[in-house]
Amino acid sequence: MATINTNAPGASNSASLVGLTDTPKQIQDRFLTLLVAQLQNQDPLSPMDNAQITQQMSQISTVQGIAQLNDSISQLVASQATQAANLIGRSVLMSGNGLELDSSGAVGAFRLAGDATDVKVDVLNSAGDVVDTVALGPKDKGLVPFSWDGNNTDGVRQPDASYSYRVRASVGSADIGAETFTAGRVTSVSLTSSGPKLVLGNGDQVATTAIREIL
Q: Which residues of the chain carry a pLDDT beneath 50?
A: 1-18, 20
The whole-angstrom separation of Cα 80 and Cα 78 is 5
Strands (E), the chain: 91-95, 98-100, 106-112, 116-124, 130-139, 142-148, 162-171, 174-175, 178-192, 195-200, 205-207, 213-214
- Would 200 be classed as within a structural domain? no
The pLDDT assigned to 73 comes to: 56
C-alpha–C-alpha distance, residues 71 and 123, integer Å: 49
**Could you report the per-residue pLDDT of 176-215, keeping only the tens digit for each?**
999 999 999 899 988 887 778 899 988 889 888 888 888 7
pLDDT at 97: 96
pLDDT on residue 1: 43
Q: Which of these three, 41, 62, 85, is where a domain ends?
A: 85
- For residue 70, the model assigns a pLDDT of 61
Same domain, 103 and 164: yes
Query: Are 97 and 177 found together in one domain?
Result: yes
What H or E segment, with its residue span, contains residue 27? helix 24-40
CATH assignment at residue 143: 2.60.40.4070
Regarding whether 171 and 103 lie in a shared domain, the answer is: yes
Do 113 and 153 reside in the same domain of the chain? yes
Residue 56: inside a domain, yes or no?
yes
Domain containing 153: what range? 91-181
Q: What is the pLDDT of residue 86?
A: 83
Same domain, 80 and 97: no
Let me know if residue 130 belongs to a domain: yes
Q: Residue 41: which residues within 8 A CB-CB, separation 6 or more? A: 8, 9, 10, 11
| Domain match, 67 and 134 both | no
63 lies in the same domain as 99: no
Give the chain's domain count: 2
Domain stops at, among 35, 52, 85: 85
Give me the pLDDT at residue 64, please. Answer: 60
Final residue of a structural domain among 51, 85, 119: 85
Predicted pLDDT at 148: 97
**Domain identity same for 50 and 18:** yes
The answer to whether position 198 is within a domain reads no
